[in-house]
A and B are shown apart, each in its own frame.
Chain A
Amino acid sequence: MIERIVLAMAGKRSPWGKPGGDKGAGGQGDGGDAPSSGENPPKGPRNPWLPGGGSEERRRSANIEDIFKHRGPEGPRRSGGPRGPNFRLPERPGGGSWLPIILGVLAVAWLGFTSVHFIQPREQGIVTWLGSKYSHTLNPGTNFTFPWPIQSVSVENVSEIRLENIGGSGENLILTGDQNLVDLSYLIRWNIKDLVQYSFELADPVETLREVAEAAMRASVAETDLDRVLSGAGREQVETRVRTRMQAILDAYGAGIAVQGVEIARTEAPQQVIEAFNDVLAARQDAERNLNDARRYEQQLLAQAQGSAAEFNEIYEQYRLAPEVTRRRLYYETMESVLSNTDKTIVEADGVTPYLPLPELRRRAAQQAARDD
């Protein structure tokens, strides 16, 4: 890379270096400039004729640039060869210095970068004199100030909602109104309400916000019972109270902070007693299950009663139309189906002692049971 730059410079040098090259060495330059003769051809022969260069110097006004021009590139090139460090600005056509142009560009850049400010929507900037005395606030759009360090600008995003998480890592136990403990973590959403106050009023606004949040949260939870904190309704109330409290305290400090919202992220019973809390939930389930069982039994019972009553009513309607016949029919039908399935012994004649074959009955019962199994 360095080599390439060197060659490029050397190539460019010959058209620009015309006064020197033509004057100093006619034939020598011819031979020296030939690219085939070596990597570094013009330098070697030209050097001893530095006095010739001196005459050239006399023609021009003495100039810092000239000193550097001869000293810079040629010194290292002689000792270090073509690979030596060799950076050098190209000369301007008129032979003048680049320095004023560089300075000019820098000055314009400085002016441009430090005195024109594009403030984005949602942002504001604070302008201070010499970084100390407040001057004014920049609103979104293009703004002009004096260049730095006369005026300096610090830009903040004022509408951005920032989040502050408290109690997020590990257990954060808070005492409730009924002297129980609850594990709570919450988020504070806030933004900058007044950039001037925010910048100048508090030594550490974010730390202040955190401490105020903690104080407000603990005060609000201490007003609330554990069950209400754990349940949804109480949580909402706590959130509102914390927000109101925080805003009041921060306004009293003149913090320039608006609390947009407080969200309770986690409310849990402490780890040590969580089993007992879970047992309460289990008890609720148990109770519910008991009730369900009872309701099921109720439905069965009522359905059965209604069914039986309906059946009886139907029969009874018919029975009323022909009581005697119906009664007889029912009796015979029942007896028929009952007696057809059972063993019957009919004892009619007097003097016959009915013998009940109990052992045989038992055996048959046993057989029946075996078959059923």
Chain B
Amino acid sequence: METVWQNHRLTILALVALILVAASSIVIVPETHQAVKIRTGEPVSVINRFDPDRPYGQTGAGLWYRVPLVERIQYVDRRIMDLDMEGETVLSNDQQRLEVNAYARFRIFDPVLFVERAGSEEQLRNQLEPILTSVLRQELGRRTFASLLTPERGNAMSNIREALDRQARQYGAQVLDVRIKRADLPQGTPLQAAFTRMQSDRQEEAETIRARGRRDAQIIRAEAEAAAARIYAEAFNKDPDFYDFYRAMQSYRQTFQTGSGSSSIILDEGNAYLRQFRNGGSR
């Protein structure tokens, strides 16, 4: 070992020095990032700048160099990033409150501007967040509550996107899309009111259904009685006189024989039933 060190001391020292220089001057830029080369505080060039026309594999990603100590590399995300807005209360045109969660998607397309004005992704988000909130409030506040829920909102969203984009471009970022993730009724009175309304809606519906059921049942009964009457009439109308007799016979049986309660019948001599009894066999 000592001999290796003694024989090749210079080589080893040179190798170590080379590795150190390489480590401090070689820059690896991944596909997902852009890199700004900053020479003594001044951005001089951009590596792997976002360009939609260049397919992956032909971008500027890969190995680059920098002059150690003098040049510094700042990485800037090249991908689409998101900006979230959580739970902002928006007042609609007709004074109803709506709790809105929205998101924006943006991409840094001018890393130099971004490095100069925003510095880091986190700071850019901090800058854009209040802008998104205020633009959203402004734009949604011009509309009625009902229209906030409808697809007409799309129009509002593109206005918001444009407004936010104008601001974001000052920081070298482009806003691709703004969307409302959730639009909820705020907790408390508005939500409770909606529930009460839903409840009364349902109660009304339930009562309507019940009433309709009763009505239909009644109609069915009436129709049945009419049909029965028609059937009776068709049959009995053939000989009303016989019907009268026949029905009377049935009725007597029903009343005196199978009906409840005992009956006493008093027949006097004029009774037709006793005609033969009285006449003694003569005609």
Contact = CB atoms under 8 A, between A and B. Distances in A.
* Chain A to chain B: the 9 pairs with minimum beta-carbon distance, closest first: A287-B213, A298-B224, A133-B62, A309-B235, A294-B217, A276-B202, A305-B228, A283-B206, A294-B220
B61 A134 contact: yes
Interface in A67-114: none
A51 B98 CA distance: 94
Given A132-B61, A133-B57, A304-B228, A218 B198 contact: no
B180 A273 contact: no
A282 interface: yes
Given A273-B202, A297-B221, A302-B224, A200 B56 contact: yes
Secondary structure type dominating chain B contacts: helix
Interface in A206-241: 207-208, 211-212, 214-215, 218-219, 222-223, 226
Contacts of A295: 220
A5 to B, nearest CB: 27
Contacts of A219: 151, 153, 180
A249 B161 CA distance: 14
Contact of B56 (A134, A214, A320): A134
Contacts of B61: 132-134
Contacts of A133: 29-31, 57, 59, 61-63
Interface residues of B, number: 93
Given A181-B194, A368-B262, A215 B206 contact: no
Given A346-B267, A361-B264, 8 more contacts: A64-B1, A212-B179, A223-B150, A254-B80, A273-B202, A283-B210, A316-B235, A339-B273
B263 A345 contact: no
A132 B218 CA distance: 81
Interface residues of A, number: 100
A319 to B, nearest CB: 6
A203 B199 CA distance: 44
A10 to B, nearest CB: 28
B248 to A, nearest CB: 9
B177 interface: yes
Contacts of A129: 62-63
A291 B60 CA distance: 77
Identify whether the interface residues of A are mostly helix, strand, loop, or mixed.
helix
A2 to B, nearest CB: 28
B232 A305 contact: yes
Interface in B205-253: 205-207, 209-210, 212-214, 216-221, 223-225, 227-229, 231-232, 234-236, 238-239, 242-243, 245-246, 249, 252-253
A49 interface: no
B28 interface: yes
Contacts of A270: 195, 198
Contacts of B78: 200
A229 B112 CA distance: 49
A41 to B, nearest CB: 33
B150 A276 contact: no
B210 A130 contact: no
